[in-house]
Amino acid sequence: MITIKEALTKKEMKEFVLFSFELYKDNLNWIPPIIADELETFDKTKNPALQTAEAHFYLAYKNDKIVGKLAAIINWEEVNILKKKKVRFGWFDVIDDIEVTKALLQKVEELGKKHQMDHLEGPMGFSNLDKVGVLSEGFDQMGNMITWYSLPYYITHFEKLGLTIEKEYQESDFSFHNINPEPFQKASKLIQKRYELRCLNFTKTKDIMPYVDKMFDLFNESYAKLQSFVPINDIQKAYFKKKYISFINPEYIKFVVDKEDKMIAFAIVMPGFASALKKANGKLFPFGFYHLLKARKHSKEIVFYLIGITPEYQSKGVTAIIFDEYYKISLQKGIDLCIRTPELEENHAIHNLWKNFNSKITKRRRTYRKEL
């Protein structure tokens, strides 16, 4: 018999996090989160995303043992601003028992029907900046801190239970040693001269901070036309600034400004933390923090996390400036591999940005939908 229980206490929330560690303990490609960081993500007193989202965390039990989990979520800004009557589910992990998946998804349906939602979708997080999707290809590839790993039977469970594919994503990578930089180097000089633009480079985090709010404003502006986009509010800006910016190498954050010093583009890449997180195995102490700091300084991989360009400049070749700057960094630091985070399959504009980089698709992932 399968029993579903909502995790409410600190002990239960820790069990919610630790179930994934048990499920994937022998899987070399799963990247464990930092346990304390994951718990903070689920804490409505600390994560501002939960001020505008309702979330319930469910554990599935069989013979008094935890066999599955998920979060059922309603992003009220998405519902009220975008008029999308959707209940989300995320942080989904289960043993290979379709009845467990069915019982957990029933809790998502119950939440959706309670609030008159018309469909469910997942896996996805609280907001646009959270992880998304289950793998459909690339199970033999190591994950990263930006994505969820998942097992092949997840999509089998979903499809047998009547869920249909909603969105599809691809992930790619490329080696800096296998690209010809000449096209974007020439274009960078031309674009900077033509539009009187320049790139801001940094060596100290404190020098970045005055620009971060402007960066998030530009992020909201550049992604506003996407159907599923919900703007980042001021409280979330402050949270992300405090939690993430200080841990990203300052030289990995690039801003492009015009002749009046107005920001017209930005990009963020992160060091490849996957191997360090495997070694940390969820704990910062005694040695986890050391492994992360070492990766921050010496990793030969980067993860291309985020890029934003104001609509006025989106078709004017500004990305050449950004690519040129990151190419210079790759040479300085001996970086070989650039990993691209999930991109929607139909987003041909973003795929075209990388046409000269000899990139290869390493993973595909999906979200699934069901009408209520």
Domains and CATH numbers, the chain: 2-172 (3.40.630.30), 180-356 (3.40.630.30)
pLDDT class of 63 with cuts at 50, 70, 90: very high
Percent with pLDDT over 70 in the chain: 100
| pLDDT tens-digit series, residues 279-309 | 999 999 989 999 999 999 999 999 999 899 9
What are the backbone dihedrals phi and psi of residue 83, each rounded to the nearest 5 degrees, phi first?
A: 60, 30
pTM: 0.94
User: What percentage of the chain's residues is helix, strand, coil (to nearest 5)?
Assistant: 40, 30, 35
* Whether the predicted pLDDT of 243 surpasses 90: no
Taking a C-beta distance cutoff of 8 angstroms, is the pair 6, 57 a contact? yes
What's the chain's length in residues? 372
Rounded Cα distance, 115 and 86, in Å: 10
Could you tell me the CA-to-CA distances from 341 to 12, 167, 212, 361, 365 in Å, in that order?
A: 31, 15, 21, 11, 11
pLDDT class of 235 with cuts at 50, 70, 90: confident
Rounded Cα distance, 216 and 222, in Å: 10
| pLDDT tens-digit series, residues 5-33 | 999 999 999 999 999 999 999 999 999 99
Taking a C-beta distance cutoff of 8 angstroms, is the pair 87, 112 a contact? yes
